[in-house]
Amino acid sequence: MFSNPNLVREGSRLYVRSMVPEFKVHGERLLRKNGAEWREWNPNQSKLGAAIMRGLKTEIPVGASVLYLGAANGATPSFVSDLVGAGGAVFGVEISARAMRDLIRVCEKRENMLPILADGRKPETYANELPGYVDFVFEDVADPAQARILIENARFLRKGGIAMLAVKARCVSSAEQPERVYKAVEAELSGTFETVEKMQLEPYEQDHEFLVLRKR
């Protein structure tokens, strides 16, 4: 049982209450139940969804503000949008102009989502797009400097706020063993964050570690 009423799990399936009935982001299944529409969240297509299915304890609550780095086509950010609801906000940073076109299509349907075409490695370029501090920073960026990107964006996170990072071991280093990569990333982050949770994402993702961190 989740404390967020917009999220439910039924066996091996995960669902969120949709803010935009009948609108599909990536072909997901839609269900009607208890007078609401629910979207199926496939953990094989989402690092956050995979972490939740693996037993993630830290929840993104209704009303939270989230800076999402690596928003891509908007699939997982749209589920985060449903989690935080109309009183929350999702700021989606994406560097690819091609992906941004899809992201904008999603954001146009959701008043709590803002697309930002920018490089997550240069947070100063989008600082004016954010209304002060956010409650969560979520990073899913395919870049060897994943840890440094999160540290640089910690400036937008309130003290005690939560960061979530999907560490892509093979992206950080194709030569090192994943366990060594995880330890190196955790060590780099330790000056800015304390670790709250960590888990590997098998069987949904190979060579991925999911970190939940609290800003010091």
Q: What percent of the chain has pLDDT over 90?
A: 91
Predicted local confidence at residue 173, as pLDDT:
87
Q: Stretch 145-166: mean pLDDT, rounded?
A: 96
Which residues 6+ apart lie within 8 Å of 16 measured at CB? 6, 7, 8, 38, 39, 41, 79, 82, 83
The domain locations on the chain are: 43-215
* Closest by Cα among 175, 120, 174, 169 to 148: 120
- CA dist 197 and 212 (Å) reads 5
pLDDT at 26 over 90: no
Pairing mode of beta strands 157-168, 134-139: parallel
pLDDT at 55 over 90: yes
pLDDT at 40 over 80: yes
Q: Stretch 80-96: mean pLDDT, rounded?
A: 98
One of 3.90.1150.10, 3.40.1280.10, 1.20.140.10, 3.40.50.150 is the CATH number of 43-215, namely: 3.40.50.150
- CA dist 39 and 190 (Å) reads 36
Predicted local confidence at residue 176, as pLDDT:
86
For 187, which DSSP code?
H
pTM for this predicted structure: 0.96
For 206, which DSSP code?
S
Q: Stretch 26-50: mean pLDDT, rounded?
A: 94
